[in-house]
Amino acid sequence: MPRALATTCYPVPMAFVFGYGSLVDGHEEQIACRLEGYRRRFTVAMDNSVDLPGYKYFVDPGTGERPSVFVAFLNLEPEPDGVVNGVAFPVDDAALAALDRRERNYVRCDVSAMLREDLGSRAYAFVGRDDAKARFARAQRDGLAVVSRDYYEHVRESFGRRGPAALREFDRSTDAPSCPTIPLTRVELA
């Protein structure tokens, strides 16, 4: 007589997303992970003078004016001996589609084989698009690249909430911004 199959089933998410910057916060289920072969650097930028529907821009909190700068964000850059800490969180098709829209300076890449932890499902990370990296390089060359202080502090605080060791690991695996970090207020576009 065949054995009875187990009646308890555990849902397996379709996939995971590896968050290494602003995506570290805001997810109920998180698994601490490490991605091998990369280092975090500020190498992706948006043009703050361009309005993109459903996106954002930044203003000076003191004057309310919109500076003509390029705002830089964290990216994963190849580094043979590098290891980046972060979190993996489960996503379904709808969540992946929403992240694809949100992360318009990035492309979703399969990093399953580069995670130290076996999540049992495919894992993705958002890595800077070539045009977003080229924007940063031009802005850096022209002295127009900046990092939002709120963004930088938010990411560091997110790792700090995971504990002092997580923050130290973040600092070790992240290059300091190569451009000024300035106060900026984010404004969402409809």
CATH of domain 15-188: 3.10.490.10
Residue 4 has pLDDT above 80, yes or no: no
5 contact partners, CB below 8 Å, separation of at least 6: none
For residue 189 the two structure tokens come to 């576009």
Residue 2 has pLDDT above 70, yes or no: no
pLDDT per residue as tens digits for the range 97-128: 999 999 999 999 999 999 999 999 999 999 99
pLDDT per residue as tens digits for the range 87-97: 999 999 999 99
Count Cβ atoms below 10 Å from residue 32 Cβ, excluding itself.
13
Tell me whether residue 22 is exposed, middle or buried, using C-beta atoms within 10 angstroms of its C-beta: 0 to 12, 13 to 18, 19 or more: middle
Residue 60 has pLDDT above 80, yes or no: yes
For residue 12, the model assigns a pLDDT of 52
For residue 11, the model assigns a pLDDT of 53
SS3 of 40, please?
strand
Give DSSP secondary structure letters for 112-166: GGGBSS--SSEEEEEEE-HHHHHHHHHHHHHT-EEEEHHHHHHHHHHHHHT-HHH
Q: If you average pLDDT over residues 35-39, what whole number do you get?
A: 98
Domain residue limits, the chain: 15-188
By mean pLDDT, which of 8-12, 24-28, 32-36, 74-78 is the weakest? 8-12
**pTM attached to this predicted model:** 0.90
Round the average pLDDT of the chain to a whole number and report it: 93
